[in-house]
Amino acid sequence: MDTLDTLRNELLEAVQSAPDADTLEAVRVTALGKKGRITDLMKTLGHMTPEERRSFGQAINAVKDEVAALLESRKAAFAEAALEARLTSEQVDITLPVRPETSGTLHPISQTWDEVVAIFGQMGFSVAEGPDIEDDFHNFTALNFPPGHPAREMHDTFFLSEQEDGTRNLLRTHTSPVQIRTMLAQKPPIRVIIPGRTYRCDSDMTHTPMFHQIEGLVIDKAVHMGHLKGCLKEFVEAYFELPDVPVRFRPSFFPFTEPSAEVDIGCSRKGGELKIGEGNDWLEILGCGMVHPNVLKACGLDPEEYQGFAFGMGLERIAMLKYGIPDLRTFFESDARWLKHYGFAPHDVPSLTGGLTR
């Protein structure tokens, strides 16, 4: 029994102190292999009496089980450590750097469009829109430019090809045709603001073939020029965010308004620097007038019952004046650097209460 006890301690010690899985396997072979020490001992059982065999056999089996259990647990520990080591060394980086934050900017035209709509929205106007491709009736005839009228020449019109009935559509030369569309579609009182693209066959420093206008139309009973002047003065001050801007009406001509005027705002040009709202120079910003009786009639309205006013201005022009953009053509060059410089934060929606620009 002494030898079995010594063998047990020796083997457990060897299992316990094996430094790695290979040594452990060697220990296993020495102990439990075909020619292992415990196996050898088993073989001696054959020479014993049945009583000896039973008690010694049990003792050997107990040692065998004990050694086998320890082997098993150490083997598992080595396997786990090996797995752990692999997991650390072979780790795959599944993370990705965050995408760079690229926030676009709002084009100055969109910004100006939103600002003008916000201002007139506050005064009770609603937005009306119309098609870019117009017919002669809406763009000219109904606006009191009869066929052959010389004022048509002032609009360098892009005509589309002739249709079967001999007429030609055109790219609208102003937003005024939407005046007609609005008056034909709804009964007064009318208060609409009409932003949109317009086209003229013209291209130089101060003209692009496509540009934007914003038009206003008010039709009601007893509307007069005082309303027009008050409305525009209010607009100019809100838009330029100045408490007081001198406004001057200069007689002019448009076929669809009578009387017609061009509106100038007070400014100074000292040292080549334009300052709006001060000084004694004038700067033209828009055209306007009282809606011509012929226009009202073309829309089925009785000029004895209804009157109104209309005005129209170039969005690029007022954007250039407010934001100091020197060259009109840059608006449509789509230069990302220009857009970054002159663009606006897309989530700052202009409002009179929250601020037009931030």
**Chain residues that interact with ligand PHE, rule: CB under 6 A:** 174, 176, 215, 254, 257, 287-289, 310-312
Q: Which is nearer to ligand PHE, 240 or 256 (CB)?
A: 256
Q: Min. distance of Cβ 258 from ligand PHE in angstroms?
A: 10
Q: Min. distance of Cβ 310 from ligand PHE in angstroms?
A: 4
User: If residue 249 lies in a helix (H) or strand (E), which one and from where to where?
Assistant: strand 247-254
Q: Which is nearer to ligand PHE, 282 or 338 (CB)?
A: 282
Q: Min. distance of Cβ 176 from ligand PHE in angstroms?
A: 4
Residue 87 class from Cβ within 10 Å (0-12 exposed, 13-18 middle, 19+ buried)?
exposed
Strand partners, 212: 197
**Which tokens in the block code for residue 350?**
């202009």
Q: Which is nearer to ligand PHE, 114 or 215 (CB)?
A: 215
**Contact call for residues 249 and 229 (beta carbons, < 8 A):** yes
**315 to 113, 169, 191, 268, 297: CA distances (angstroms):** 7, 24, 19, 21, 29
Q: Min. distance of Cβ 169 from ligand PHE in angstroms?
A: 18
Q: Which is nearer to ligand PHE, 111 or 260 (CB)?
A: 260
Q: Min. distance of Cβ 348 from ligand PHE in angstroms?
A: 29
**100 to 96, 97, 103, 107, 157: CA distances (angstroms):** 12, 9, 9, 22, 46
Q: Which is nearer to ligand PHE, 195 or 312 (CB)?
A: 312
Residue nearest to ligand PHE (CB): 312
**Contact call for residues 328 and 205 (beta carbons, < 8 A):** yes
How far apart, in whole angstroms, are the C-alpha atoms of residue 90 and residue 83? Answer: 10
Q: Min. distance of Cβ 181 from ligand PHE in angstroms?
A: 14
**Which tokens in the block code for residue 273?**
């620097």
**346 to 195, 210, 212: CA distances (angstroms):** 19, 24, 20
Q: Min. distance of Cβ 120 from ligand PHE in angstroms?
A: 14
Q: Which is nearer to ligand PHE, 111 or 257 (CB)?
A: 257
How far apart, in whole angstroms, are the C-alpha atoms of residue 9 and residue 313? Answer: 104
Q: Which is nearer to ligand PHE, 24 or 313 (CB)?
A: 313
- Within 10 angstroms of residue 3's Cβ, the number of other Cβ atoms is 8
Residue 207 is classified by DSSP as B
- Any binding-site annotation on 258? yes
Q: Which residues are annotated as a binding site for Mg(2+)?
A: 258
Q: Which residues are annotated as a binding site?
A: 258
